[in-house]
Structure formats: C-alpha cells, structure tokens
Amino acid sequence: MIFSHAIMLLASMSTAMSSADLMQDITDSSGIALSSTSGTLPSREILEVNGGGLALLDYDSDGDLDLFVANGATLDDPEHGPGSRLFENISDENGILFKDVTTGSGIRISRWAMGAAAGDHDGDGHVDLYVTCYGPNILLRNRGDGTFEDATEEAGVGTTGWSTSAAFGDLDADGDLDLFVVNYLEFDHEQPPERSLYKGHDVMGGPHGLPATGDVLFENIGNGRFRDATASSGLAEVEPAYGLNLAILDMNGDGHLDVLVGNDSMPNHLLLQEPGTDGIRLSESGQSHGIASNMDGHDQATMGIAVGDINGDARPDVFTTNFSSDTNTLHLAAPDGLWDDRTMATGLGLRSRSMLGWGTACADLDHDGDEDLLIVNGHVYPQATLDSMDSEYLQPPVFMEHDGSRFTSTRSTEHWLATPHRDRNLVLGDLDRDGDLDVIIGELNGPVRILRNTIKTDRRGVIIGLLDDREGAADRYAPGARLVIRAGDEEFTRWIPGGACFQSTMAPEVHISIPPGSEMIDVEVSWPSGERTDHKGVPVSNRILLRRTD
Amino acid sequence: MKPAITSMFLLLLLQGCQGPAPEEASGNETQDAGIEIPAIDGDLAVAYRLIEEGDFGPARIRLRGWMDTHGEDARALFLFGLAYHSQRRYARSAEWFRRSLNATPVYPPSAHFLGWSSYYLGDVDTSIKAFGRHIEMTPGEGDSYYGLGLLALDAGDLEEAEARFNDARRLQLDQPDRIDGVSKALVRLAELDELQGNRNAARLHLEEAVKVDPDRVEAWHRLARCCRRMGDESAAVDAEQQHAAALRRNTPRAGFPE
C-alpha cells in the first residue's frame, strides 16, 4: 500500500478536538489593521489579482516572528501605492500582538509589491528582505538596528518586469545565500491585453497570449554582492514560463539544494542541481520526474506550493493549488526518485474542483502527528458565481485533515473555515511561542487576518529552528535544510524550504507534535551544504534552537 | 470553444444504446430496459446541430422558441443543459438536466449528463445517484460505469473502482464508436495497477489503451512514464513522441484544464 509508516497509525491515538474551533480569529486585537491594496475592486486586469505576499522573519533578532506585508498599488499609478508594511511582534502572556513599525524602519516601498523573501544575504546575522514587484525588485538590507536600507544596486540584484516570488538558498553550497527570482509575464498596465472568454463570459485577459518571462538566478559572491548566474547556471536555457512560486530544498536527496518552480498553466520546473559541477548548474527535470503536470500530462495553474512528508516515507511530497474546475494536486515522491500524482486516491481531487486555491501549507495544525493541508481560496474573476463559472468569487479557506492514507474536510463548519474571502496568501509560524502553528492570511484588497491556534491535545507541539553559529558562517538560518526528528517511537521528516507557499516566506523553522511522555528527541540535520549533524537527547521544550558550532 | 462531447457518442446515448448488464455480460446476452427514447428531430435537431458547432446562444434561443410552442419537454430541457455542459458551465447544465428528469424521469441522457455535470462540480452524491439512475434505465451504458469508477477511486474504494472500470471497458469493447470509452477505462485500470504496485500490469493496460485509441493523449503520457520507470528508455521515448503527435492531432484545449 502507498502509506505504511508508523506515524499514520499513531496519528489516530491523539485526542481529537470536539467543540472548540481549531483556530481563533484574533485580527481585531492583534494590532494589525491593514487592508491590503492590489488594484481596485472589481479587478479589471491580471495585474490586480495576485495580492501581496507575507514574510515571517525575526528582523529585530529578539527571538520572535515579525511580519512584513508586501502591499500593492493601483493601475493608474503602480509606483505610488499605500506602501508595504512591517509589523513588530510584541506578543506577551496576554496574547498575540503586533505593532506597525514601518515608519522609522527605513522601509519606503510604495511601488506595487508582490512578494517577499527573507534571508540574511550578507551574513551579518540580521535578516534582510527581497521584495518582488511589478517594476524593479528591491533588496532591503537590515542594518541590525531595527532599520533597513535599499541595497538593490549595491548588491546587484535589480530586475525589471513583473516578479512574483523569490527565495534565498545556498544553491552552490559555499556557505552564503543565493537568490532565485520567479518572473511571471510581460504586462503593460498602460496597454493591457485584450479581454478573454471563460465559460462563455467576458473576462480579463491573460496569462494566455502574453509573453512569459524567464526566471533569474543571482549567485552570492560574498560581501553582500551577487552576480547574475542565469546564463551560467543553465537557467537561461529553460523555456520561460508564467512563474508564480517556488520552493528551494533538496528534492532528490542527493545533498544539493534544488529549485521547484510553480508555473501558471504551463509545466512546472524542477531544477535539479547537476552533480559534480562547480558552482550552480541547474537541469530542468520536471517532465522526466513526473512533477511538471498532473498525471494526465495536463499543465495546471499552480498558484501555491506546499512541501511536506505526507506519507511518512521521509521524501518530499508536493501539494499544489490550482484553478477552479480543475483539482488541486498531490504529487507523492516515490522511492525511484520520481513523483506520482496521487490526488484522486487520497481524496483531494473532487473536493477542490469548485475552489480556486492560492497559498497552501503542509502542517500538523491539529497536533495529531501527521501533516494536514491548509489552503486559502478565492476566484480571480469578480463575476464568478456558482451559476456562471461553477465557482464563487468569495471562497472560504479549506482545511484538509490527514486521516490515514486520505484527506477529509471534516472541520468545514468551524468559524474560521466558514466565511468566504478573496484570500491569496498564507504563512504559518508560532507567533505566541506556545509550540503550535498560528496562521496569517492575506486577502486581496482585504484585511490581513491573524488566526491563533487553540489546539489542546495530549501531544506536545515543538518548534525547531537552526542556527549555524560557526565562525564566519553566512547562511546562519539554513533555508533548505532537512530535519529528521525522532521522538519516542515516532519519526518525522520536515524541511525548512526557501520560499514555498505563494509569494511569501514561511517562518524559518519546523513544527511537529510529539507523543505524550517524550522528554528527549533526537534530530538529524541535513544542512544546505550537504553536511549532516546529529543532535542526540535534545531536551523537549516548546521551542528548540539547534546550534551548529563544530 | 468546441463542445466537450463527441456527436457520435451523444447520438448513441440519445438512441438509448443498450448492451449487456455488467454483472451478466459474458457474450451476446443483452438486457433491454424497455425504454423508448423520443427522437430529437425537427427544430430540436437543428438546435442540437448548433450545439455541436459551438453556437450555444443561437441554440438556446431556438430551444426557448420551441418550448414556447411545445411546452417543457425532456428533450428540449436536455439540449438546453447540453449547451451549458458543452460550455463547461456545469452548475447551469446540472440544473437543466434535473428539469429534464423532472419532466420525464426516464430520459436516460439527462441522467447520464447530470452525473458528469455533478462530477465536474465536485458534487459526489448527486453524481453517484445520477450515474446509478442512468444505469438503471440503460444497463448497457458503459460511460456511466466509468463515472462510477472515478467516484469510487476518489472515495478510496479501489476494488469498486476496478469493477466499474472493467464494466466500462467490457460494455464498450464491441462498439466501434466507443473506442475512447474503452481506452479511458484501460488508462484508469492502469492507474489502479500502479496504486497496487503492479507496473507490468499497468504497462499492459496502457499499451492496450493506445492500441485501441491512438489519440488517447494521457495514455501515451502515462505509458512513457511507466516504460521509463521500468528501465525501457527506448519505449519511453517512443511513447513521448507518440504523445506529442497525439497532441498535435487533437484540438488544443481551451486553456483551462478540464
């Protein structure tokens, strides 16, 4: 059978929640009062429909997760929107609380921002931000005093056009973070494309018919500077596609970081590092590895990517969200290094046909030991109704609970899952440091929502972060690392992916829930450099930071 | 946008094409459910031709005119639904198929297409009921068994899925106009083989699928993968080339996957 791991059996032993909601919407008391801008409603052009990404980062190095929100603008003036925002996490024992610290932070981005990648690009111990835009992207260097400065030109990471997502990762395993930028298509807001037809309805034009733009790779050459490695890495030879998102991790288990790019209505790219080459050399392997399209060879919209170990075999499985009247797709990694579309057999197919999915994540939100799926949804066409397009414009989030070898959506009556929205982006992290995963959702032209996890089971939630504390280490937080964690009789494999989700950056840490009575855990870390470290008998607490000092 | 159905397939449905009931089918036995399906003729035939040609608006106008004169009739209501179904507007089409069945509860094409419309909407319960109802009316209709097979697969009932795909294959095997139905069933049987770890059986099913219907694009795609995983690179490359050729032969898809 497909699923055989012991974790699946143990999952059913946890105490289930019954009456209370799993998540509580605490937006009103969170201190985040931001209604994002992405064009105007109703959306008229494709530029308006993506919404702005979210990034969780500890910008002030105080140990908790702060939030950056990429904010857009409007078609009449894409360079001058209300501006992206930075929120400091000031949560305490009374609950989750943020404070808008944009003013005074040096962040003055009024350009139409799309996404955000967080990473310490210059190895100074402070997390920087790379903001993708419609227009030139922007690198914000963290000065370490709570302020940022524009370092785009100095670092050599300027681009033009329309970028959606970006992520940092040490692709050449030289100890510093390289930067992969995903581009979408050629669009001119002053000469928007002709309108199109969908299910007999006049709708906004694109992406079909518009030229796709290729992705860009910047190799870190030290001292906070990069060189454009798009050509030398082979990326320039990859057919340009409508890129929306990416994940950087070791996809094939060879010890080198790879890049998975989700493309809109075109084959996804699996860019595997070619072994035995100096520097970064990427080989497009999506088709041959079965992950470029669904099992019938049909390209999908791939708005969101989530990576997790769905079937407990320690390999990276990939869940993608797609357009309405299509299904979301689950690709399970197989022992032979290929991926199999197992959407139908796991019950994830028909349930998703009426939804248009965006941000998504694999996460053990309900602390039963296995990875569930959280998906935020909303249609791109304002005129969408069930009657007109078989899908509503406003759609609720979907929580697919992992149940043995299949997924079910039994919590659909819970409040946080009952209200429809125009949701786009999603990040997960332990905002209140209590060991479980809280959720932040970005809605198109709507509020940023904060959902606090209220789970109470007999299993214990544990957050594990990494810190490469060696002298001179530049890639200190190790995006792309893989952790194998043993607690009692259970084993978990988790990744800290660079990117994933949609236009956003998740917290640079992993989360598991461990069985009752576990006092110690063992952790094996596969660092982005390909090296491994073993951490035996680590005492259990809500938050564990594994330092590498050797 | 081209209609999503083939005209010959629909004509067979409209004729209430009947073959052996699956549990009894072994040779030339047939089971006649005794249903007479009124012909689509006159203005209804004109409307049907318009749907075939992708002129959905004019088809609906003609159908409305016909119903103004003749009242609500299962055939006209079905064609109304078919126009929406062909546009892939399944919530609308399901509504008209339901109305057709309300007008004449034993009008098989409406039950069959209600099954598919509901399937595409993700409405599992309605889809199962509609396919089941269609099979009650025309026990020899293989495509409804195929639909039930997909629903069983989605529910994780692999045994039931295998039985229904085998029904679909057997019931359409001797019908030259249903080679696509046979091929589709074979592709899904191969999927079940793969789920059960039997790659040899999957390859045989896929090879049979492309032999029956060389235009079955997804069968070539899956066959290429299967061959590659079995270490037969030359067969994989050949299947990839055939896949590309089949794609070229077939009308490009409308842009959104269905």
Q: Give pLDDT tens digits for A495-535.
A: 998 998 899 999 999 999 999 999 999 999 999 999 999 99
| Residues in chain B closer than 8 A to A350 (CB atoms) | 119, 122, 124, 151, 154
Q: Indicate yes or no: CB of A390 within 8 angstroms of CB of B120.
A: yes
Full strand arrangement of the beta sheet holding A460-468: A509-514, A460-468, A543-548
Mean pLDDT of chain B: 86
Q: CB-based contact (8 Å) between B199 and chain A? A: no
- Confidence band, pLDDT 50/70/90 cuts, at residue A471: confident
Distances (CA, A) of B165 to A295, B108, B132, B220: 18, 20, 14, 19
| Residues in chain B closer than 8 A to A352 (CB atoms) | 122
ipTM over 0.85: yes
- Confidence band, pLDDT 50/70/90 cuts, at residue A13: very low
The whole model's pTM is what? 0.93
- Confidence band, pLDDT 50/70/90 cuts, at residue A6: very low
Is the pLDDT at A197 greater than 80? The verdict is: yes
What's the confidence (pLDDT) of residue A411? 80
Q: What is the mean pLDDT of residues A468-474?
A: 89
Q: What is the mean pLDDT of residues B187-198?
A: 97
d(CA A237, CA A274): 14
Q: CB-based contact (8 Å) between B225 and chain A? A: yes
Comparing CA positions, the residue from A399, A490, A514 lying closest to residue A453 is A399
- Comparing CB atoms, the residue among B88, B154, B222 nearest residue A295 is B222
Choosing among A343, A344, A354, which should be mutated to test the B contact, i.e. which has the most B CBs within 10 A? Answer: A344
For residue B120, give both structure tokens. 């595409």
What's the confidence (pLDDT) of residue A298? 92
What's the confidence (pLDDT) of residue B36? 73
Q: Indicate yes or no: CB of A326 within 8 angstroms of CB of B258.
A: yes
Distant-in-sequence contacts of A326-334, Cβ < 8 A, 24+ apart? A326/A300, A326/A301, A326/A353, A326/B256, A326/B257, A326/B258, A327/A294, A327/A352, A327/A353, A328/A352, A328/A355, A328/A357, A328/A360, A328/A375, A329/A294, A329/A300, A331/A290, A331/A291, A332/A2
| In chain A, % of residues over pLDDT 90 | 91
Q: What is the mean pLDDT of residues A180-191?
A: 97
One-letter amino acid for residue B81 of the chain: G
Q: What is the mean pLDDT of residues A469-489?
A: 93
What's the confidence (pLDDT) of residue B90? 96
The DSSP bridge partners found for residue A279 are none
Comparing CA positions, the residue from A129, A73, A82, A54 lying closest to residue A441 is A54
Q: CB-based contact (8 Å) between B41 and chain A? A: no
Range scoring the smallest mean pLDDT among A168-177, A363-372, B27-36, B113-122: B27-36
Is the pLDDT at A225 greater than 80? The verdict is: yes
Choosing among B121, B146, B242, which should be mutated to test the A contact, i.e. which has the most A CBs within 10 A? Answer: B121
Half-sphere exposure of A398 (CA within 13 A, CB side): 24
Q: Indicate yes or no: CB of B221 within 8 angstroms of CB of A386.
A: no
- Confidence band, pLDDT 50/70/90 cuts, at residue B23: very low
What's the confidence (pLDDT) of residue B29? 31
Q: Indicate yes or no: CB of B89 within 8 angstroms of CB of A406.
A: no
Q: What is the mean pLDDT of residues B108-119?
A: 97
- Confidence band, pLDDT 50/70/90 cuts, at residue A472: confident
Q: Indicate yes or no: CB of B90 within 8 angstroms of CB of A390.
A: yes
- Confidence band, pLDDT 50/70/90 cuts, at residue B180: very high
What's the confidence (pLDDT) of residue A479? 95
What's the confidence (pLDDT) of residue B191? 97
Length of chain B: 258
What's the confidence (pLDDT) of residue B30? 32
End-to-end CA distance of chain B: 13
- Confidence band, pLDDT 50/70/90 cuts, at residue B9: low
Instruction: Give the position of tokens 């209604």.
Output: A35
- Comparing CB atoms, the residue among B88, B156, B225 nearest residue A199 is B88
Is the pLDDT at B2 greater than 90? The verdict is: no
